Structure formats: structure tokens, C-alpha cells
């Protein structure tokens, strides 16, 4: 339909202006700022690519790559466990059992609770003295396994990943289940008619037909893994202890930009450089995600 | 649908019940702890509370500043969601119904916001808010949440509106109805399912967000629930009975709302993630 452009402006402008002012402009400004040294109040000093050099090759490179490594590790673990468990549980629910809705709802419950609150709840469960986890291990005679899960550099990161899985797996169950339910029932009928076992049905029908869902979810997980912050903040603080064993780019970014006890530098320019570096890694996949979602919605 | 025999079904039920137990246990622990005193938590972490007194509740409610925080969270969420609904449905309508210069460009420009991790731009947002005197202000949070909610909401609404038949509107336009009339009388009422999805997804995102308040708010009278709990957790560490209570107060209304409206939540969040 056609009307005068002028008449459409009241429809277009509010969203466009808010979006440009508070999303696009800050992004552009982050790029700009990453070439400066600035403590937030005084004058901005142009330093060229020094911030990037410092992060990638200089004083902070050890910390940067330590955090980056953790992000990658988190991404791999979450892909295996969240997608894996999500698929398994969704498959269990896509059967002729009763109460699918109820189980589905319960599975999704943790996902609607703020991640930071989930973190706090689990930090109590994991409390070395009275936390349920260690108490449980002692009760079933595995007391030797009890340990300060969040205080031990060898277990802290995996513990954080576990808490993440606990909260988020329901989301993957939901999405996977929706994908499985979308499969035409005739395919199952035909397979059973031919005498296929359940095992075969899962691997020959359900799995191949949910591959596109897996693809989108892996991309989404990559983006989320590089944005992880709340859960580390809640369980280990911005210092990402013990000994930075749970440090991720999000907490590193926070420390460089806004400080934190005992942090070496607080420089908004340096912080912006960290943001730009994360952005560079995430943006190709983010665009891929937008592309995938756009393509799907067209069908 | 997979067909299971009775034996397989039993196994599946057992697995699912264990899974439910794993989900419910942490919630029940903070619930039980909220009736215990510190001594009881240490000595009998497994057992039911010996008495059901609400002493912890009044104490935690006051000390964690939860009254103020709940009001703030409510105001911020309500206004953010409403303003997201207004601005997004307006532009989605224009993008879906009219041809005008740069239409495709504007659409892609906004959708690409789905790909921007908005938190990474927090430094300029922070300095900008400081200059606009919008730090320590609920309005500041509302503005930011509105902006971050736009790409997703426009995406959902535009695609939905594309599927709504256009014949009625065309004849209405012939009869001299203004775009505003068509929007408010015809398109918006027909877009209800999409508006529900947008409302739920943004409600959850804004209510749960902790990052922007962490950066933008340091006045206790302006804190939202997740921030209030964070501050409380820092100040009262070791007071596990009070922390449990505060956490329980923070999560249980959401749990109730979720179970009451689970149908909408589940379909909304699934559509929200991948269309």
C-alpha cells in the first residue's frame, strides 16, 4: 500500500530513533573509544592501536587468552551437554507417555529465574560445610568426593558450567521437542510398519530431521557462551576466582572497564578494546544466526 | 511420536522423575531454609524445618530492601514492556504494510540488532546516561530496555503482520481510513498472538536482567530485585537463613506466575528463540 511518506514517519521514527541512539551509537562509539585511553572523566588521549596490542600481545595477553580459552571451553561443554541432554530429554518426552506438558513445564522452570539468582541458590547448594551436594555425597558414602567445588581451581569452571546446564537445559528441551513434534506423523507410522525399532526411529528419523535445529542452537550457544557473565559474577565475583580459573571475557571486560578490587587497570578505552575484540569474534556468528532465523521465518 | 512398551515407559518415567527432582531440590532447599535458623541449617540441612515461623521473612524483606526493589522492578518491567510494544508494533506495521524508500534497508538495519550483543556497548551507554542524568534512574533503565527489546520485537511482529490478510485494510484505505485507524482498529487487534509473545519474552528478559542495574544503579532506593539480592548476598554472607529467605521471596512469585501462565510462556519462549 502507498501513502505519503510524511504520514508514515510517526510510525517509523520512535523505534528507529531509540534504536539508533541507544544501540547503534554506543556500538559505534565503542569502536571509536577503543583507540583512546580514558579514565572516564578527564581528557581522552589518542593511543592508536596500543589498547589492542596490550590486550593481545602485551601486559594483558595472558589474562585475555586465559579468559578466551575458558569461553571456548564453556562453549564446547555447553554444546555437548545442553544440546545432548536437551535432545535426549526431548526424545523421551516425544513418546506415548502421559503428562508430557507437565514435564515440559517443569523442565523449563529454571529458565525463567534470573541467572544471577540461580547462581546464588547454587552457591548455597555447593557450600562446602553444609551445602546439600557435599552432604549428599557423605550420606551415600562418597564423602571422599566432597570438596569446595567453587573454591578449587580444578573444579570451579566445571561447576559453573554445571549450574548453567541446570538452568538452561529446559530451553533446549523445549526447542527440540517443538522440532520433533513438527515431524510428520506418517514418517513414524511408515517406520513402525516396516518394523523399525525405537532406536532406529531416533537415529534415522528424529535425529536427521532435527539437524537444522541443532545448527541454529549451536550458533546461538556460541553467542551466549561469549556473553556469559552473570553466572560467573554470582558464583565467583568479578575477580573470577580462584586464581582467575573461572575468568571469562565478560568478567575481564567488566574489570578493565569498571574496575574491581585489586584489578590492575581501569581504563574505559582498554575496556572498549576488549569489547571490540569480543564483538569481532561474535559478530560473524551473530550475523549467521540472523540469516538462519530470517530464512526459516520465510518458509 | 515414539511408541514405548510398558517396560520402556516405566524406565522413562523414572528418568523424568529424577530429572524433576534435580530441578525442584534447590528451590525446596531455599524454601525450607527460609523457616530455619542458622544453627538448624548447619546441623540439619536435610530435614524439614522444626517450626514454621515467618521471622526470617520480615527480617529479610527489610534488610534486603525487597519492598523497594519489587516496586522498582515492577515499574521498570511494566513501562519497558509497554513502550517496547508501542514503538515496535508501530514500526512493524509500517514495514509490513507500506512501500516507502529504504524500507528493506530499515528492516535489515533493525533486525541486525539481533546480532549485536548489546552489553558490549555498555561503556558508551554508561557515559551517555551519566551525561543525560539517567544513571541511578528507573527511566534510564526503561530507555535501555526499550532499545534492546526493539530488534527482536520488530522481527516477531513484522513477520506476524505479514501473514495477516490485507484485503480488509485495502478497502478501508479506499474508504479514506488513515494509516493510524487501520493500525489501531484492524492490524493491532489481529496481531494479538504476536503481541503476547513479545510481551512474555521481554517481560522475562527485563525482569531478570541484572547487568544494566549493576552498571547504572548504585542508589539503593533505585535497585531492582536481582540487584537487591546481589547487594544483600554481599552484605549478609554467612547469614544463610536470611539469604535463603530473600532468594525465596525473589523467586517464588515468578514461579507462581510461570505455572499459572505456562502455556503462554512455553509457546512464547519457543517462538522467541527460533521462529
CATH number of the domain enclosing A118: 1.10.3720.10
In A, which residues are within 8 Å of B265 by CB distance?
A: 108, 112
> Would the CB atoms of B45 and A89 count as touching at under 8 Å?
no
A168: cell is 538452561
pLDDT on residue A298? 65
Is the pLDDT at A205 greater than 60, yes or no?
A: yes
pLDDT on residue B178? 86
What is the distance in angstroms between the Cα of A60 and the nearest Cα belonging to chain B? 19
**Domain span including residue A122:** 26-298
Q: Which pLDDT tens digit goes with each residue over A211-248?
A: 989 988 998 899 899 999 999 999 999 888 898 999 99
Is the pLDDT at B229 greater than 50, yes or no?
A: yes
Q: Which pLDDT tens digit goes with each residue over A152-197?
A: 999 999 999 999 999 999 999 999 999 999 899 999 999 999 988 9
- The answer to the question of residue A40 being in a domain is yes
Of A111, A146, A154, whose CA–CA distance to A125 is shortest?
A: A146
The pLDDT-based confidence of B56 (bands split at 50, 70, 90) is very high
Question: Could you tell me which chain B residue has the CA closest to the CA of A298?
Answer: B159
Q: Is A97 on the interface with B (CB under 8 A)?
A: yes
B residues 48-77 near A, CB within 8 Å? none
Q: Is B261 on the interface with A (CB under 8 A)?
A: no
Q: Is A22 on the interface with B (CB under 8 A)?
A: yes
Q: Is A73 on the interface with B (CB under 8 A)?
A: no
CB A55 within 8 A of CB A61: yes
Is the pLDDT at A265 greater than 70, yes or no?
A: no
Angle among Cα B80, B81, B87 to the nearest 5 degrees reads 85
Name which of A14, A135, A233 is nearest B87 (Cβ-Cβ). A14
B residues 92-111 near A, CB within 8 Å? 93-95, 97-101, 106, 110-111
Q: How far is CA B163 from the centre of its chain?
A: 26
In A, which residues are within 8 Å of B127 by CB distance?
A: 40, 268
In B, which residues are within 8 Å of A268 by CB distance?
A: 123, 127
Crossing angle of helices B55-63 and B240-260, rounded to 10°: 90
> Would the CB atoms of A108 and B266 count as touching at under 8 Å?
yes
B2: cell is 515414539
Q: Which pLDDT tens digit goes with each residue over B20-39?
A: 999 999 999 999 999 998 88
Name which of A10, A15, A257 is nearest B88 (Cβ-Cβ). A15
pLDDT on residue A139? 85
Q: Is A190 on the interface with B (CB under 8 A)?
A: no
B contact test, residue of A7, A16, A120 with most B CBs within 10 A: A120
Is the overall model pTM greater than 0.90, yes or no? yes
Q: Which pLDDT tens digit goes with each residue over B196-209?
A: 999 999 999 999 99
> Would the CB atoms of A120 and B247 count as touching at under 8 Å?
yes
> Would the CB atoms of B117 and A286 count as touching at under 8 Å?
yes
- The answer to the question of residue A243 being in a domain is yes
- The answer to the question of residue A145 being in a domain is yes
In whole angstroms, what is the distance from residue A114 CA to residue B20 CA? 19
Q: Quote the percentage of chain A above a pLDDT of 70.
A: 96
Q: Indicate the length of chain A as a whole number.
A: 299
Which structural domains are found in chain B, ordered by start?
Answer: 65-235 (1.10.3720.10)
- The answer to the question of residue A133 being in a domain is yes
Q: Both ends of chain B: CA-CA distance in Å?
A: 22
In whole angstroms, what is the distance from residue B87 CA to residue A17 CA? 10
| Whole-complex ipTM | 0.92
Q: Is B205 on the interface with A (CB under 8 A)?
A: no
A residues 236-255 near B, CB within 8 Å? 250, 253
> Would the CB atoms of A257 and B122 count as touching at under 8 Å?
yes
Angle among Cα A92, A95, A101 to the nearest 5 degrees reads 80
CB B206 within 8 A of CB B82: no
- The answer to the question of residue A96 being in a domain is yes
Question: Could you tell me which chain B residue has the CA closest to the CA of A289?
Answer: B115
CB B150 within 8 A of CB A15: yes
Q: Which pLDDT tens digit goes with each residue over A104-156?
A: 999 999 999 999 999 999 999 998 888 888 888 888 888 888 889 999 999 99
> Would the CB atoms of B4 and A283 count as touching at under 8 Å?
no
Within 10 A of B131 (CB to CB), how many other CB atoms are there? 9
- The answer to the question of residue A211 being in a domain is yes
In A, which residues are within 8 Å of B250 by CB distance?
A: 114, 117
Structural domain count, chain A = 1
Q: Which pLDDT tens digit goes with each residue over A25-56?
A: 999 999 999 999 988 888 899 999 999 998 99
Q: Is B191 on the interface with A (CB under 8 A)?
A: no
pLDDT on residue A1? 64
Amino acid at each position: 500500500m502507498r501513502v505519503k511518506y510524511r504520514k508514515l514517519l510517526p510510525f517509523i521514527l520512535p523505534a528507529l530513533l531509540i534504536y539508533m541512539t541507544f544501540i547503534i551509537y554506543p556500538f559505534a562509539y565503542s569502536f571509536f573509544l577503543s583507540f583512546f585511553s580514558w579514565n572516564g572523566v578527564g581528557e581522552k588521549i589518542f593511543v592508536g592501536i596500543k589498547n589492542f596490542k596490550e590486550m593481545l600481545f602485551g601486559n594483558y595477553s595472558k589474562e585475555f587468552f586465559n579468559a578466551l580459552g575458558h569461553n571456548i571451553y564453556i562453549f564446547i561443554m555447553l554444546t555437548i551437554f545442553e544440546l545432548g541432554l536437551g535432545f535426549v530429554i526431548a526424545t523421551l518426552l516425544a513418546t506415548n507417555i502421559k503428562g508430557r506438558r507437565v514435564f515440559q513445564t517443569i523442565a523449563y522452570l529454571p529458565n525463567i529465574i534470573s541467572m544471577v539468582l540461580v547462581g546464588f541458590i547454587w552457591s548455597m547448594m555447593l557450600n562446602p560445610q553444609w551445602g546439600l551436594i557435599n552432604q549428599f555425597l557423605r550420606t551415600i558414602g562418597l564423602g571422599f568426593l566432597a570438596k569446595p567445588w567453587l573454591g578449587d581451581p580444578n573444579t570451579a569452571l566445571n561447576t559453573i558450567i554445571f549450574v548453567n546446564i541446570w538452568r538452561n537445559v529446559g530451553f533446549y528441551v523445549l526447542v527440540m521437542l517443538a522440532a520433533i513434534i513438527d515431524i510428520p506423523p506418517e514418517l513414524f507410522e511408515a517406520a513402525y510398519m516396516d518394523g523399525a525399532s525405537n532406536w532406529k526411529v531416533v537415529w534415522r528419523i528424529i535425529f536427521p530431521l532435527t539437524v537444522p535445529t541443532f545448527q541454529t542452537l549451536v550458533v546461538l550457544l556460541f553467542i551466549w557462551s561469549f556473553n556469559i557473565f552473570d553466572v560467573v559474577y554470582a558464583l565467583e565475583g568479578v575477580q573470577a576466582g580462584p586464581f582467575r580459573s573461572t575468568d571469562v571475557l565478560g568478567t575481564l571486560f567488566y574489570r578493565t572497564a569498571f574496575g574491581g578490587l585489586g584489578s590492575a587497570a581501569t581504563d574505559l578505552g582498554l575496556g572498549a578494546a576488549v569489547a571490540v575484540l569480543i564483538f569481532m569474534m561474535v559478530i560473524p556468528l551473530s550475523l549467521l544466526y540472523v540469516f538462519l532465523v530470517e530464512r526459516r521465518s520465510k518458509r | 511420536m515414539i511408541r514405548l512398551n510398558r517396560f520402556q515407559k516405566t524406565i522413562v518415567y523414572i528418568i523424568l522423575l529424577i530429572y524433576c527432582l534435580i530441578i525442584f531440590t534447590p528451590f525446596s532447599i531455599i524454601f525450607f531454609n527460609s523457616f530455619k535458623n542458622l544453627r538448624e541449617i548447619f546441623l540439619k540441612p536435610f530435614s524439614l524445618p522444626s517450626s514454621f515461623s515467618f521471622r526470617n521473612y520480615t527480617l529479610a524483606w527489610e534488610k534486603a530492601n525487597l519492598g523497594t526493589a519489587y516496586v522498582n522492578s515492577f515499574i521498570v518491567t511494566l513501562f519497558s514492556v509497554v513502550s517496547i510494544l508501542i514503538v515496535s508494533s508501530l514500526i512493524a506495521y509500517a514495514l509490513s504494510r507500506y512501500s516507502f524508500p529504504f524500507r528493506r534497508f530499515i528492516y535489515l538495519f533493525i533486525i541486525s540488532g539481533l546480532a549485536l550483543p548489546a552489553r558490549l556497548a555498555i561503556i558508551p551507554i554508561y557515559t551517555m546516561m551519566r551525561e543525560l542524568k539517567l544513571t541511578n534512574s528507573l527511566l534510564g533503565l526503561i530507555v535501555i530496555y526499550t532499545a534492546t527489546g526493539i530488534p527482536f520485537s520488530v522481527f516477531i511482529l513484522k513477520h506476524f503482520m505479514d501473514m495477516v490478510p490485507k484485503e480488509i485494510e485495502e478497502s478501508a484505505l479506499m474508504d479514506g481510513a488513515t494509516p493510524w485507524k487501520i493500525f489501531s482498529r484492524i492490524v493491532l487487534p489481529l496481531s494479538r498472538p504476536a503481541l503476547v509473545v513479545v510481551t512474555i519474552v521481554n517481560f522475562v528478559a527485563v525482569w531478570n536482567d541484572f547487568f544494566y542495574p549493576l552498571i547504572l544503579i548504585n542508589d539503593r532506593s533505585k535497585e531492582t530485585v536481582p540487584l537487591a539480592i546481589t547487594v544483600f548476598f554481599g552484605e549478609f554472607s554467612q547469614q544463610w537463613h536470611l539469604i535463603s529467605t530473600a532468594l525465596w521471596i525473589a523467586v517464588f512469585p515468578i514461579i507462581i506466575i510461570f505455572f499459572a501462565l505456562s502455556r503462554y510462556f512455553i509457546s512464547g519462549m519457543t517462538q522467541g528463540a527460533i521462529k
